[in-house]
Amino acid sequence: MDRSGDAIGVFDSGVGGLSVLRALRAELPHEKFVYVADSAHAPYGERDDTHVILRSVAIARSLVEQHQIKTLVVACNTATAAAIKQLRQSFVDLPIVGIEPALKPAASQSQTKRIGVMATRTTLNSEKFRTLMASLHDQGRFVLQPCDGLADAIERDDATKIIAACADYTRAMGRFGSEADELDTLVLGCTHYPFAHAVLRAQVGDSVAFVEGGAPVARQTRKLLAERGWLAPAGAAAGPDPVLYATGNADNLQAAVQRWLQWPASVQTLGML
């Protein structure tokens, strides 16, 4: 079956997955995208695994049934950690790409081998993350920082709380810089956090490298589609503007698209999903 013209589904608990959608559009400019922000249940990082699994399966089912998506991108570290195994069991014929904190590329590029990791508490406590950490035990020293409330502050565009949270959490991790005993790399382990880039940069200085997961996710999505012959034709016109949905109030998503991505967008509400 030729599915090259079908859309790619992307979801997150809120606006954070827009950082992944941005990377996907850059890597796959001819594709169609449908994005769901589960804003009625955000942020996932402060929910239990059962809740995140139920929401993830419900959103995936809606994207499959209503939009006939050809692949699903879980643009949320928390949802990937909690739900991707269940998603793959529930939708066995659907290629699914998850995201995880980019520890491997961070370890490979760090010179001091001291790496800060900012993520939600749920992500850091997950079995998936612990397995990832164990695989890298000899490749660097990772300083893990749960960032309670930061994703929610970014979701609400609360500048005061964003600045305060970034200051508190970077201070708690220790000294940043390029000296041997300093953290020279910072992993942004939640898709919301790239949208606090400028605030974090002001806290840690210009010498620290930031690593996020959007680009690797985009490359993996391309690989899976290419293997199946489902890529949109390279000679085709640029893909249309993404179709954007929110399960709750659409205002945050609408504002985030305009503020951070400068895309023309109209966000629709998904009612009783």
Which positions are annotated as active-site residues?
76, 190
Residue 11 near residue 74 (C-beta atoms within 8 A): yes
3-state helix, strand, coil in the chain (%, to 5): 45, 15, 35
Give the CA angle between residues 73, 77, 83 to the nearest 5°. 70
The structure tokens 């300083």 sit at: 143
β-bridge partners, 220? none
Q: Where are the beta strands (DSSP E) in 75-199?
A: 96-97, 114-119, 141-146, 185-188
- Residues 58 and 223: their CA atoms lie apart, in Å, by 26
CB 118 within 8 A of CB 190: yes
Instruction: Supply 122's token pair.
Output: 């749920």
Is residue 126 within 8 Å of residue 148, measured between CB atoms? no
d(CA 183, CA 1) in angstroms, rounded, equals 49
> Using an 8 Å Cβ cutoff, are 88 and 96 in contact?
yes
